[in-house]
Amino acid sequence: MSDLYDKIYEVVRQIPAGRATSYGAIAKFVGSPRGSRMVGWAMNQSHSSKAYVPAHRVVNRLGMLSGKHHFPGENLMQELLENEGVVVIDDQIQDFDNIFWDPMKELDWDSI
DNA sequence: AGCCTGACCTAGG
DNA sequence: TCCTAGGCCAGGC
């Protein structure tokens, strides 16, 4: 497993329950501002990580559940988010401005 | 090696 | 405001 993937998974693990962030924000934080698509690929492989990776807390920049079809079941991603208090309507996180969790602002590598 | 695809993002019409 | 095209980085074939 590459360092970059480990970084991505580590950041995703720091997302608090009830919050969400975007692929682009994570890509920027781990040092690949143009690598947002790679973050999506990392999520696709996240099951191979030893530790739990809450991939359902990662959405695109608009707060849409673009990755829901990669979860088992019909609506697991939405159900997981709703269990944490996030309101999701029609694959769209409501009040995403407040839900959004920016690692650049709220996370330091020191705290990891 | 070359081409296609993808859990994205931005710019331009 | 909606839609399209292009760029992006990595992986599969």
In which band, very low, low, confident or very high, does the pLDDT at A98 lie, cut at 50, 70 and 90?
Answer: very high
pLDDT of amino acid A19: 96
Q: What is the pTM of this model?
A: 0.92
Return the structure tokens found at A104. 């650049």
Residue in the structure block whose two tokens are 């999520």: A43
Condensed to tens digits (0 to 9), the pLDDT of residues A43-86 reads 999 988 889 999 999 999 999 999 999 999 889 999 999 999 99
Please tell me whether any atom of strand C lies within 7 Å of the Cβ of A62.
no
Tell me the domains of chain A and their CATH numbers: 3-111 (1.10.10.10)
Residue A76 phi, psi (nearest 5): -60, -45
Residue nearest to nucleotide B7 (CA to C1'): A67
Chain C positions with any atom < 7 A from a protein CB: 7-11
Measured to protein CB atoms, the chain B nucleotides within 7 Å are 6-10
DSSP state letters, A43-104 = HHTGGGSSS---GGGEE-TT-B-TTGGGSSTTTHHHHHHHHTT--EETTEETTHHHHB--HH
Could you report the per-residue pLDDT of A21-42, keeping only the tens digit for each? 999 999 999 989 989 999 999 9
